[in-house]
Amino acid sequence: MHSENALFSKLTSIMQAYNAEKTHGSVVNYRNYSALKTELAAMQLDEGTQSWDSIWKSVETYLHYSVKTAHPQYFNQLWAGQSNAALVGSVIEVLANTSMYTYEVAPVATLIENEVLSRFRSVFGFNDGEAQITTGGSNSNYVALLLALHKKFPLLKNEGLHGLPRVSVFVSEEAHYSMDKAMVMSGIGLNSLVKVPVDETGAMRTGELERLIQLSKDEGCIPVSIIGTAGTTVRGAFDDFQRISSTAQAHDCWFHIDGAWGGAVAFSKQEKRLLSGSNLADSLSWDAHKMLGVPLMCGVLFVRESGSFDRVCNLGDTSYIFHESAERQDLGPYSLQCGRRVDALKMWLEYIFYGNEGFENRIDNFIKLSKHAELRIHNEPTLELQTTRWINNICFRSIVGDGVDSNTFNKQVRQSLYESGESLVNIAYIQDDLTIRLIITNKDVTEQDIDTFFDNWLQTASKVAKELTQCV
């Protein structure tokens, strides 16, 4: 049996070893699903072993086959790498294991959450409103939809959907799929979600929005919410928030901004013009685990009107947990969750280490690196940018010769790069065209890493092209 000291020493040495390796070698030791399943099954780890050897063996295997998301060739998701300040917060949070619902069991955590959210409220222009930490952008978007529905139909709280008129909710066709889920979870259904076409840059066509709202009203629906996106998932596009706000006011509906990804430009004097008009929104989602590099999950929902969360979340007989106090001190009644992790700690430590200026430099650096990537694509005769670059999403592809299907070719190059462990980038679709979506969101990535990525891409593309010629 390990003493606890030996256990923590072992844990520290595993962390140090992983940390030393996480930016080197392959991004991933790739195995396909069935090969990895077989390999893990061969470990024959039984339950109830009470053996630390089996624990360390499992940890070693876990880390060996995990994708190194801090690797400078990892460009796959809207989050990458992590900062050590926030990492300390994550570890300490787990070590002291508590739940955010009451001041009683989470005293410092409660004060930290209030403080960090109050500072971020002023960055995002929600000074007079309220905010909560959520399990991420999907959850924030869902809560925002509930707030809109309950504001419009106060009877919903007691009567539910019975007797509700037909409603409609509007979102751009390139918005995140969490909106579709929110429609289903809220019970109003997918048919009430109107997807507004986008322009050639990926931003919502606001003229179409107005036409579609009128159409839905003519059909007897009541518009409840318009959701604009600040940084769409694939292209990073920003909708026109000034215009959406006037439309929302004209039709008396809620205006929510999904800024889970691009909301972070609020920290940058240079880029925050993209959020112009967001001060008119009723609510805004933002994920600190994306551009800010706080370990997953760390979402925030800002709301303009104080008391909004109360309307939806403060329910039921809670006398066993929330006890009377002179001040409003428990955060539990304002959240959809009961038990809730102390995500505020990692966010707070990141904030006190870097501050707004550090975050601003980070965002500006992502944009600088993205311009570098754009230039590289521009200068490579075999590559093309597929859409306007808004922020740090770069959508490109290899140009293919006659008779070669572009989607198949680009998908194959990306898959080869992934399996070789050289670079990991994602694919997505812009209408019917497959695009390679390069995301620059690791604070430690350099111009040289971007160049290495393109060198890897071009070499692999020429290998795949040769293989294809041999097959013909």
Of the ranges 134-142, 215-223, 417-425, 446-454, which one interacts with ligand PLP (CB under 6 A)? 134-142
Residue 249: Cβ-neighbour burial (10 angstroms; 0-12, 13-18, 19+): exposed
- Residue 167: enclosing H or E segment and its boundaries? strand 167-172
Q: Provide the minimum distance between the beta carbon of 258 and ligand PLP in the complex, in angstroms, as a whole number.
A: 5
Q: Provide the minimum distance between the beta carbon of 36 and ligand PLP in the complex, in angstroms, as a whole number.
A: 24
Q: Provide the minimum distance between the beta carbon of 287 and ligand PLP in the complex, in angstroms, as a whole number.
A: 5
**How many Cα neighbours within 13 Å face the side chain of 137?**
27
Q: Provide the minimum distance between the beta carbon of 74 and ligand PLP in the complex, in angstroms, as a whole number.
A: 15
By CB under 6 A, name the one of 113, 239, 240, 287 that touches ligand PLP. Answer: 287
Q: Provide the minimum distance between the beta carbon of 229 and ligand PLP in the complex, in angstroms, as a whole number.
A: 6
Angle between helices 406-420 and 447-471 (to 10 degrees): 120
Contact between 263 and ligand PLP per CB under 6 A:
no
Number of residues that bind ligand PLP (CB under 6 A): 13
240 closest CA partner among 277, 211, 199: 277
227 or 434: CB nearest ligand PLP: 227
DSSP 31-93: --HHHHHHHHHTT-PPTT---HHHHHHHHHHHHHHS--TTSTTEESSS-----HHHHHHHHHH
74 or 103: CB nearest ligand PLP: 74
What's the rounded Cα separation, in Å, for the pair 239 and 243?
9
228 closest CA partner among 251, 215, 201, 247: 247
What's the rounded Cα separation, in Å, for the pair 91 and 19?
14
**How many Cα neighbours within 13 Å face the side chain of 209?**
29
3-state helix, strand, coil in the chain (%, to 5): 50, 15, 40
One-letter amino acid at 354 equals Y
Q: Are strands 74-75 and 424-430 parallel, antiparallel or unpaired?
A: parallel
Q: Is residue 297 reached through a cis peptide bond, with omega within 30 degrees of 0 on the bond before it?
A: yes
Contact between 258 and ligand PLP per CB under 6 A:
yes
Of the ranges 31-39, 50-58, 132-140, 181-189, which one interacts with ligand PLP (CB under 6 A)? 132-140
By CB under 6 A, name the one of 131, 171, 260, 369 that touches ligand PLP. Answer: 260
Task: Show the binding pattern over residues 204-243: x = contacts ligand PLP (CB under 6 A), - = does not.
Answer: -------------------------x---x----------
Q: Provide the minimum distance between the beta carbon of 80 and ligand PLP in the complex, in angstroms, as a whole number.
A: 12
The residues in 69-128 that bind ligand PLP, with binding defined as CB under 6 A, are 78
Of the ranges 2-10, 180-188, 256-264, 339-347, which one interacts with ligand PLP (CB under 6 A)? 256-264
169 or 461: CB nearest ligand PLP: 169
Contact between 302 and ligand PLP per CB under 6 A:
no
Contact between 261 and ligand PLP per CB under 6 A:
yes
**How many Cα neighbours within 13 Å face the side chain of 69?**
17
The residues in 139-198 that bind ligand PLP, with binding defined as CB under 6 A, are 176, 178
Contact 395, 426 (CB under 8 A): no
Contact between 137 and ligand PLP per CB under 6 A:
yes
Of the ranges 13-21, 45-53, 135-143, 341-349, which one interacts with ligand PLP (CB under 6 A)? 135-143
One-letter amino acid at 210 equals E
Q: Where are the alpha helices (DSSP H) in 273-405?
A: 308-313, 343-379
Q: Provide the minimum distance between the beta carbon of 176 and ligand PLP in the complex, in angstroms, as a whole number.
A: 3
DSSP 253-266: -EEEEE-TTGGGGG
Task: Show the binding pattern over residues 50-79: x = contacts ligand PLP (CB under 6 A), - = does not.
Answer: ----------------------------x-
Q: Provide the minimum distance between the beta carbon of 135 and ligand PLP in the complex, in angstroms, as a whole number.
A: 7
Contact between 349 and ligand PLP per CB under 6 A:
no
Of the ranges 136-144, 198-206, 308-316, 363-371, which one interacts with ligand PLP (CB under 6 A)? 136-144
229 or 423: CB nearest ligand PLP: 229
What's the rounded Cα separation, in Å, for the pair 102 and 330?
5
Q: Provide the minimum distance between the beta carbon of 91 and ligand PLP in the complex, in angstroms, as a whole number.
A: 21
**Token output for 288:** 């600190």
CA dihedral 257, 259, 265, 269 (to 10 degrees): 20
Contact between 281 and ligand PLP per CB under 6 A:
no
Contact between 299 and ligand PLP per CB under 6 A:
yes
Residue 463's CB is within 10 A of a number of other CB atoms, namely 14
78 or 424: CB nearest ligand PLP: 78
Residues near ligand PLP (CB under 6 A) are 78, 136-138, 176, 178, 229, 233, 258, 260-261, 287, 299
